[in-house]
Amino acid sequence: MAKRPTTAKKSVSAANLAALGADRLADLLMEAGAADAALKRRLRMELAAEVGAADLAFEIDKRLVALGGSRARVSWRKRPALLNDLRSLLRIVVDRLCPLDSRLALDRLVAWFDLYPGLAARVSDAKGELPLLFDAATAELAAVASAAGPDVAGPVLGDALSTRLDPWASWIGRGSAGLDPAVARRLLAGLPQGVRPTGRLALVIRKLADRAGDLDAWIRSIPDEDARKPEVGAGIARRLALARRAEEGRAALEASRVDSDAKARWGRSADAGAPSEAWSAAEIAVLEAEGRLPEADEARWARFARTLSADDLRVLIARLPDFEDVEALDRAFEMAATHPDAMRGLAFLMAWPALREAAALAVDRAGEIRGGHDDLPLWVGRLVGRHPLAALILVRARARALLMLGPDVAGEVQALVSEAEAIWSTLGEDASATDHETFAAGLQSEARRRRVW
C-alpha cells in the first residue's frame, strides 16, 4: 500500500510553492493569468516594477484611465471585483512605485483618489463600501505625501484642495495626523492667506495647523462668532497659554466669558453653577502662564473639589515643600469624604490609595453606597483584611443591587450572602452594622416579593 503523503507538503504556503521551482511557478502564473484579467494586469505591473519606476507608472496610468473613462454601471454583483481592483492598484502604488519614485507615486495616488466621484455615480453601493475604501486609504496618502517631501507634496495636495475642495478637504483632513509636519506646513503656506477660511476649508486647515504646530493658522480657522463661545474660547485660550502667550490667552478667555449682570469669579452668573472642565482647564493654564501660581492652585483646588481628579492633586502636591504635602493630602481626603457623590469619593480614595479613609467613608455613608459599581468586588478584596466592616457594607450593597436584577442572578446573590456572613463572623460584638440574621431575613423577604427565589 502506498505511503500516505504528509498534509504539510500539500498545503499552499510560500515555502511549498517555492519548492516547485521558478519554471513551474511561471507556467502556473501564465495559465492562471490567461483566465484572470486582474491577475494578468497585476503580473504585468510587477514585471514593469522590475524594469523601473517609469514603466510601472505607465502601466498604472493605463489602468487609471480605464477605470476613470468607463461609464458602465457597476451592479452589486460586480462591486466586489471593482473594490478588489482598486485595492490592488492602491497597493501597487504604495508598496511598489513609492519606494522607486515617491513623486510619481503621489501623482498616481492623487489620480486614484480622483476616481471616486465618477465611481460613486455609477456603482451600486448600498453598504457604503466604496467611500469607506477611500477614507481608509487616507493613511497611505499621508505616508506617500510624507515620503515625497514638502516641496513635492505641498503643491500637489494644495492644487487638489484648491480645485477639488469636496472631497479632498475630507481626505486630507482624515490623513493629516499621519502627515510629516513639514508637509503640513508647506501645504498651509500654499493656501490663500488673505481671507479667513470658512466651511470645509477651515476644518482641514485646523487639522493641518494642528499637525504643523501653527497656532496662528489654527486660530484663524475659527470664525469670530465661534471664538466667543465659552467652550471654543477656552480651547483657544488654553493653547495660547501653553505657548506662553499669556496676554493673548487672557484676551481670548475674557472675550468668551458669558455676559451677565451678576458675575462670579469664573465670569458666569452667580447661580450658573460650576464652570465647564474646558473652561476650568483654560483658566488654570492662563493663570500659570501669567505667573499667578497661587491663584492657579486655588482654581485647581476648586476643580479638584468638583472632580476629585488625581492628576490635579498630584500637580498640587508636586509644588509643595516637604511636609506640607501631608496637609494637602488631608485636605484632599476630606474633600473626597464629603463629596456630594459618595461613590466618586470612594473611587478616588480606593484608587489613590487611601484605604483607611475609604473605609471610613463607606461606614459613615453606608446608605449612599451603590452596589452596582463595577469595581465593588475589587474594593471588597482590598478592604476585608483590615477594614472588614467597610467590606461588609460593600458586599451587602452589592447583594441588594443584584437582587433588583431578578432570578437570573439568584446564584450570585446567594454567594454574596454567604460572603457577608463570613465577614460578619469576623467582627466583634461592638460592630455597628446590622447583624447578619436581620440582613439575611430582609434580603429574603425582598427576594420573595420579587420572586428571585
| Sign of the CA dihedral running 187, 192, 195, 199 | negative
Buried (b) or exposed (e) across 287-304, using 16+ Cβ within 10 A? Answer: bbbeeeeeebbebbbbbb
C-alpha to C-alpha distances, 76 to 125, 202, 322, 439, nearest whole angstrom: 7, 36, 71, 64
Task: Return d(Cα 429, Cα 30) in angstroms, integer.
Answer: 89
Cell of 333: 481626603
CA–CA dist 243, 233 (Å, integer): 15
Give the whole-angstrom CA distance, residue 127 versus residue 53: 36
Tens of each residue's pLDDT in the chain, 453 residues: 455 556 667 777 777 667 767 767 665 667 665 666 677 777 788 888 788 999 999 999 999 999 999 999 999 999 999 999 999 999 999 999 999 999 999 999 999 999 999 999 999 999 999 999 999 999 999 999 999 999 999 999 999 999 999 899 999 999 999 999 999 999 999 887 767 788 899 999 999 999 999 999 999 999 989 999 999 999 999 999 999 999 999 999 999 887 654 444 444 443 445 568 888 899 999 999 999 999 999 999 999 999 999 999 999 999 888 778 899 999 999 999 999 999 999 999 999 999 999 999 999 999 999 999 999 999 999 999 999 999 999 999 999 998 888 777 788 888 999 999 999 988 876 567 788 888 888 888 776 776 655
SS3 state of residue 385: coil
What is the DSSP code string of 118-157? HHHHHB--TT-HHHHHHHHTHHHHHHHHHHH-HHHHHHHH
Phi, psi of 263 (to 5 degrees): -110, 140
pLDDT at 271: 40
Which pTM was predicted? 0.73
CB–CB of 61/104 below 8 Å? no
**Domain spans of the chain, in order of start:** 38-136, 341-450
Cβ contact 304:313 at 8 Å: yes
CA separation for the pair 154, 132 (Å, rounded): 25
pLDDT of residue 262: 41
144 neighbors 106 (Cβ within 8 angstroms): yes
